[in-house]
């Protein structure tokens, strides 16, 4: 157990581990990466590992494009393995109003330099024969999209951070961030105190728990996300484009000879992490395969194989959702030295390389390399919110992640 560090990062998922890595890469800083569980063991390895470049804002598109470059260079930069496939994807509309969204996505994508193309339902089916054109009114091909092995990202960044001199402290529960006179002075853990002028709350599903133990409120909701990995299927290939069906919020990608697929359901389950107890582990999260069965039935005309494919793995994680669908990054209001890296909105792991580098620069240089004010927690500093309203807004953002109206 160490007693001092220049920066303590709480949480070793994708965002926390990436932040620790880019801080350690800067050199001259002692960095501690602390987690109440094993390093990189909670939601990150249970994610889908899908990169979606056609996002709702120029800022997000720019960040995702940079993340794609970092994913490609991950092994060269960190020395750690990362398996990824540049498959592209198909965004599918089944309703006229969603076709209009695709038109907007196409124009935004073309303006920002993405490889996007409006194609017919039949052309989409030709690119991925597991998609049937029945009921499809519009489709867009996004050539920039790719997928990766989610289990390798957080562990890879953490291992590379340690190689740069960072200290990894697994199974070290942070009880409180210590703040005196509005300034961070360290953290109290189950194993003792670590003095530090800078703390990053990247605790994932436990972000609120960490912040509120120190009197800081942050509006995000831990949300259950579930997915299935099927047994191998004839005709499934790693290079088949991913598929996203907008109104049903169903997604699928190739995975180990079969497919990985899931849904952002209409009424997601939220968790109060405090009530789950100190020993809770994401692997023990209660799952409900009925949600997936209902989703498969909803898209049976377009993805009929989902109803018959045998299940090899059924897993879930707990990403954090915000009311406006943006991450929560950067310094906390009114507290010097307290930073957030959370509110992933089911897109944290794919963007973690860029977010980690940006947050490291924010801490060291005093500002991020690009304007991240839409993601700053400062946007909430003069607002009050009820839990009911927060959950309603977060549920809407979850269901409408693909832009359906």
Confidence band of 1 (pLDDT split at 50, 70, 90): confident
In the CATH hierarchy, which top-level class contains the domain 86-144+222-316? alpha beta
Q: In what order do the strands lie in the sheet with 174-180?
A: 174-180, 183-189, 192-195
Model confidence at 7: pLDDT above 90: yes
Per DSSP (E only), the strands in 145-224 are: 146-148, 167-169, 174-180, 183-189, 192-195, 198-201, 220-222
* Partners of residue 10 on adjacent β-strands: 34, 201
Q: Quote the mean pLDDT of the chain.
A: 97
Q: pLDDT tens for residues 21-41?
A: 999 999 898 999 999 999 999
pLDDT in tens, 90-110: 999 999 999 999 999 999 999
pLDDT tens digits, 268-284? 999 999 999 989 999 99
Q: What is the mean pLDDT of residues 333-339?
A: 96
pLDDT of res. 10: 98
Q: Can you tell me the distance from the alpha carbon of 12 to that of 34, in angstroms, rounded to the nearest whole number?
A: 7
Residue 383's pLDDT is 72
* Chain Cα centroid distance, residue 317: 10
User: Averaged over 55-73, what is the pLDDT?
Assistant: 96
* Positive/negative CA dihedral, 84, 90, 93, 99: positive
- Tell me the pLDDT tens digit for each residue of 285-329: 999 999 999 999 999 999 999 999 999 999 999 999 999 999 999
Query: Domain locations in the chain?
Result: 7-46+151-221+323-399, 86-144+222-316
The model's confidence at residue 380, banded by pLDDT at 50, 70 and 90, is confident
Question: What is the CATH number that goes with domain 7-46+151-221+323-399?
Answer: 3.50.50.60
Give which of 403, 89, 134, 83 is closest to 251, Cα–Cα. 89
The full length of the chain comes to: 405
Query: What are 72-84's pLDDT values in tens digits?
Result: 999 999 999 999 9
> In the predicted model, is pLDDT for residue 240 greater than 90?
yes
Label residue 381 by pLDDT band (50, 70, 90).
confident
Mean of pLDDT values over 39-58: 97
pLDDT greater than 90 at residue 384: no
DSSP track, 1-64:
--SB-SEEEE--SHHHHHHHHHHHHH-S--EEEE-SSSTT-SSGGGS--EE----SSHHHHHHH
Across residues 157-163, what is the average pLDDT? 98
Q: Is the pTM of the predicted complex or chain greater than 0.85?
A: yes
Tell whether the model's pLDDT for residue 365 goes beyond 80.
Answer: yes
Q: Report the candidate in 305, 310, 274, 303 with the shortest Cα–Cα distance to residue 289.
A: 310
């Amino acid at each position: 157990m160490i007693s001092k560090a220049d920066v303590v990062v709480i949480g070793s998922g994708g965002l926390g581990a990436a932040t620790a890595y880019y801080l350690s890469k800067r050199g001259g800083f002692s960095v501690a990466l602390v987690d109440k569980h094993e390093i990189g063991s909670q939601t990150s390895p249970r994610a889908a590992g899908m990169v979606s470049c056609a996002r709702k804002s120029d800022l997000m598109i720019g960040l995702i494009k940079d993340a794609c470059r970092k994913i490609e260079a991950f092994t060269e930069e960190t020395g750690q393995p990362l398996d990824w496939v540049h498959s592209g994807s198909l965004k599918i509309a089944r309703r006229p109003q969603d076709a209009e969204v695709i038109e907007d996505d196409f124009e935004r994508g073309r303006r920002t330099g993405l490889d996007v193309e409006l194609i017919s339902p039949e052309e989409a089916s030709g690119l991925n024969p597991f998609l049937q054109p029945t009921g499809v009114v519009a489709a867009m091909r996004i050539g920039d999209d790719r997928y990766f092995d989610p289990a390798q990202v957080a562990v890879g960044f953490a291992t590379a951070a340690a190689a740069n001199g960072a200290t990894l402290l697994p199974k070290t529960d942070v009880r409180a961030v210590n703040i005196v006179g509005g300034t961070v002075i360290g953290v109290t853990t189950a194993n003792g105190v670590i003095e530090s002028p800078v703390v990053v709350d990247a605790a994932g599903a436990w972000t609120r728990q960490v912040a509120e133990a120190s009197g800081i409120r942050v509006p995000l909701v831990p949300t259950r996300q579930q997915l299935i990995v099927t047994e191998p299927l004839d005709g499934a290939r790693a290079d088949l484009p991913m598929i996203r069906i907008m109104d049903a919020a169903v997604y699928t990608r190739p995975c180990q000879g079969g497919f990985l697929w899931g849904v952002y359901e209409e009424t997601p389950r939220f968790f109060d992490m405090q009530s789950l107890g100190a020993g809770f582990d994401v692997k023990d999260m209660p799952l409900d395969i009925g949600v997936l069965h209902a989703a498969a039935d909803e898209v049976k005309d377009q993805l009929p194989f989902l109803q018959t494919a045998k299940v090899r793995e059924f897993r879930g994680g707990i990403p954090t959702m915000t009311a406006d669908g943006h991450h929560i990054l950067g310094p906390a209001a009114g507290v010097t030295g307290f930073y957030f890296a959370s509110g992933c909105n089911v897109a944290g792991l794919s963007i973690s390389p860029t977010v980690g580098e940006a947050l490291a620069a924010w801490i060291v240089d005093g500002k991020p390399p690009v304007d991240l004010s839409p993601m700053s927690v400062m946007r909430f500093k003069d607002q009050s919110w009820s839990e009911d309203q927060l959950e309603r807004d977060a549920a809407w953002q979850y269901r409408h992640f693909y832009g359906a109206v």
